[in-house]
Amino acid sequence: MAPRPRSLPSAECGQLEREGTVKDKYNIYAPVYDVLSGERAVYRAGRIQGIDALDPRPGDQILDIGCGTGLNFPLLQDRIGPTGTIIGIDRSPGMLRQAQRRARLHRWDNIILVQADLISLDASAVMEQVSGQGGTPASDGIIATYSLSLMPAWRTAWANIQNLLGADPRVSIVDMQEPYGSARWLAPLARFACRIGGADIFAHPWQFVEEDCVGVDSRSARGGHLQIRAGTLQHRHE
Ligand SMILES: C[S@@+](CC[C@H](N)C(=O)[O-])C[C@H]1O[C@@H](n2cnc3c(N)ncnc32)[C@H](O)[C@@H]1O
């Protein structure tokens, strides 16, 4: 069971601002992300399924990879409770500031926010930061919603992330592909939405769950546009 960590102190929030880069569109649009991202109409359905498939338990420490503004946090909190911990990792200071705002608004003191690029991740530095704020170095599970498809080198991100996980962690990936079947006519709209968001709709980053995990739970929503894969990553006994 994870000890209760502190949330990111406001002093560190100021530091995030200075480290921001104008090249990152999420940094710029972070304040309006929740309104403009199609959350209610489309994407919330995927995170609900993804967290249900992850099946986090009270007291778990869950990594939220590319956590953005923290839209997963309320659903995760319902599962892990006050004795659990959420580690939100994102490279965008603007998105992390919104996540921090959400945590403060709800008075959640079990969230640790870490600014890091998952492609060039220094796992030891992240674990040190997490431990320094009251978390445990290795997490029990990981959720990534609509973030890996933004990373052309998502396989590198996956390799890096594994260094932050404990034994037999649960993994849940929610990402996008073209809708199919009777929803196929919506494919141009889905491609447009992904292009605007900088996501590669053909990346299909949930592949690693199918390749590396056991007991894979496979789901889809919104005409197949949202793909959910969850499972248990084995071979991590150290
Ligand atoms: C489309 S948003 C999704 C945010 C959140 N997971 C959600 O479900 O609303 C993608 C997020 O991934 C983050 N991201 C993209 N590439 C990243 C990288 N290489 N390392 C860390 N975060 C990254 C972005 O900053 C952004 O916050």
Surface-to-core class of residue 5, CB atoms within 10 Å of its CB (0-12 exposed, 13-18 middle, 19+ buried): buried
Residue-by-residue pLDDT tens, the chain, 238 positions:
333 434 443 334 334 444 444 468 899 999 999 999 999 999 999 999 999 999 999 999 999 999 999 999 999 999 999 999 999 999 999 999 999 999 999 999 999 999 999 999 999 999 999 999 999 999 999 999 999 999 999 999 999 999 999 999 999 999 999 999 999 999 999 999 999 999 999 999 999 999 999 999 999 999 999 999 999 998 655 5
The residue among 100, 120, 94 whose CA lies nearest residue 23 is: 94
Q: Tell me how far apart the alpha carbons of residues 81 and 130 are, in angstroms, rounded to a whole number.
A: 19
Other Cβ atoms closer than 10 A to 141: 27
Q: Is 93 in the pocket of ligand 1 (CB under 6 A)?
A: no
> Does the C-beta of 67 come closer than 6 Å to ligand 1?
yes
> What is the Å distance from ligand 1's center to 2 Cα?
25
In the prediction, which pLDDT does 51 show? 98
Which amino acid is residue 156, in one-letter code? T
Q: What is the CATH number of the domain that holds 158?
A: 3.40.50.150
> Could you tell me the distance, in angstroms and rounded to a whole number, from the CA of residue 66 to the centre of ligand 1?
4
Task: Please indicate whether residue 147, judged by its CB atom, sits closer than 6 Å to ligand 1.
Answer: yes
Q: Is residue 105 part of a domain?
A: yes
The pLDDT value given to residue 7: 43
Does the Cβ of 92 fall within 6 Å of ligand 1?
yes
Closest C-alpha to 4, from 42, 72, 58: 58
Axis crossing angle, helix 73-80 with helix 93-105, rounded to the nearest 10? 50
How far, in Å, is the centroid of ligand 1 from the Cα of 112?
Answer: 16
Ligand 1, atom 10, residue with closest C-alpha? 147
Tell whether 168 is covered by a domain. yes
SS3 223: coil
- What's the rounded Cα separation, in Å, for the pair 17 and 237? 38
Q: Cα-flanking dihedrals φ and ψ of residue 170, to 5°?
A: -85, 140
> Which of 4, 146, 123, 121 shows the shortest CA–CA distance to 67?
146
Residue 29, Cα to own-chain centre: how many angstroms? 18
Q: How far is the CA of 111 from the centre of ligand 1 (A)?
A: 17
Looking at residue 41, the DSSP 8-state letter turns out to be: I
175 pocket-lining for ligand 1 (C-beta < 6 Å):
no
> Is the separation of the CB atoms in 123 and 163 below 8 Å?
yes
Q: Domain for residue 60, yes or no? A: yes
Residue 39 CB less than 6 A away from ligand 1: no
| Ligand 1 touching residue 119 (CB < 6 A) | yes
Q: In 10 A of CB 181, how many CB atoms?
A: 7
Residue 87 lies in a domain: yes
> Which CB contacts under 8 angstroms, 24+ apart, belong to 179-182?
179/222, 179/223, 179/224, 179/225, 180/223, 180/224, 181/223, 181/224, 182/223
- Give the mutation target among 23, 90, 155, 225 for probing the ligand 1 site: most ligand atoms within 8 A of CB: 90
Number of domains forming the structure of the chain: 1
In a domain, 17, yes or no: yes
Q: Report if residue 3 sits inside a domain.
A: no
Q: What are the structure tokens assigned to 168, written together?
A: 């037999």
**Residue 98 placed within a domain:** yes
The residue contributing the CA closest to ligand 1 atom 13 is 66
pLDDT score recorded for residue 23:
60
Question: Ligand 1 centroid vs 166 CA: distance in angstroms?
Answer: 23
Q: Give whole-number Cα distances, 92 to 6, 16, 129, in Å.
A: 20, 8, 17
Is residue 5 domain-resident?
A: no
Give the domain range for residue 144: 10-233
Contacts of residues 15-21 at CB distance under 8 Å and 24 or more positions apart, as own/partner, are: 16/93, 16/96, 16/97, 16/115, 17/93, 17/97, 19/93, 19/115, 20/92, 20/93, 20/94
pTM of the model: 0.90
What pLDDT sits at residue 133? 95
